[in-house]
C-alpha cells in the first residue's frame, strides 16, 4: 500500500472482533485499558497521562498519514463483539518503500486468548 493511499475507513472484522478505524472518541473507551503497566513491558512508551492526552494523540492519528506524508498510519480499536467491549488497539505504519511496522496493545485480562493474533492477522490481510 503506497503512502498516498490511506486505506479504507470501513471496519475490519473477524469472527470475534470488530476492528474500528481509530478515532478521537475511542480515547474514553480505551483509556482504562491502556493504564495497566504490564502492557508497556516491551513498548518504549508509558501509559497515557489523561483522557485528554489520549484524545489529542488519537486525533493526530485520524489523518492516517505522517505530517510529511511519507508514512501511512493505520490504527484500529478492537471491539470484542461478544462483550461489546473495547479491549485494545492494533496499528501498522507503512513507509514509502513498502516496509511496515505493526504493533498492538491489549487489555491484560484478554491476553493469551488469541485476540492479538486474530487482530494482527486481519490487519495484515488488509494491508498486504
Give the model confidence (pLDDT) of 17-70 as tens digits: 999 999 999 999 999 999 999 999 988 899 999 999 999 999 999 999 999 999
Mean pLDDT of 88-106: 96
pLDDT over 90 (residue 92): yes
* Residue of 49, 53, 47 lying closest to 24 (CA atoms): 53
What is the predicted pLDDT for the residue at 1? 43
Mean pLDDT of 102-125: 97
What the block records as the C-alpha cell of 75 is 490504527
Structural domains of the chain, with CATH: 12-127 (3.40.630.30)
pTM passes above 0.85 = yes
What is the predicted pLDDT for the residue at 79? 98
What is the predicted pLDDT for the residue at 9? 82
Q: Give the β-pairing of 100-106 and 85-95.
A: antiparallel
SS3 call for 118: helix
Phi, psi of 11 (to 5 degrees): -65, 155
pLDDT over 70 (residue 5): no
Cα dihedral across residues 20, 23, 26, 30: positive or negative: positive
pLDDT band of residue 4 (cuts 50, 70, 90) is very low
pLDDT band of residue 2 (cuts 50, 70, 90) is very low
The pairs formed by 83-86 with CB atoms below 8 angstroms and a separation of 24 or more are 86/26, 86/29, 86/30, 86/33
Amino acid at each position: 500500500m503506497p503512502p498516498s493511499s490511506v486505506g479504507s475507513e470501513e471496519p475490519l472484522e473477524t469472527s470475534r472482533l470488530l476492528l474500528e478505524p481509530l478515532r478521537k472518541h475511542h480515547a474514553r473507551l480505551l483509556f482504562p485499558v491502556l493504564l495497566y503497566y504490564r502492557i508497556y513491558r516491551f513498548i518504549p512508551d508509558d501509559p497515557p497521562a489523561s483522557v485528554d492526552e489520549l484524545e489529542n494523540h488519537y486525533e493526530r492519528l485520524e489523518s492516517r498519514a505522517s505530517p510529511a506524508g511519507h508514512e501511512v498510519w493505520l490504527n484500529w480499536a478492537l471491539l470484542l463483539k461478544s462483550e461489546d467491549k473495547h479491549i485494545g488497539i492494533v496499528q501498522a505504519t507503512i513507509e514509502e518503500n513498502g516496509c511496515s511496522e505493526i504493533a498492538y496493545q491489549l487489555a491484560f485480562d484478554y491476553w493469551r486468548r488469541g485476540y492479538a493474533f486474530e487482530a494482527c492477522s486481519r490487519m495484515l490481510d488488509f494491508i498486504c
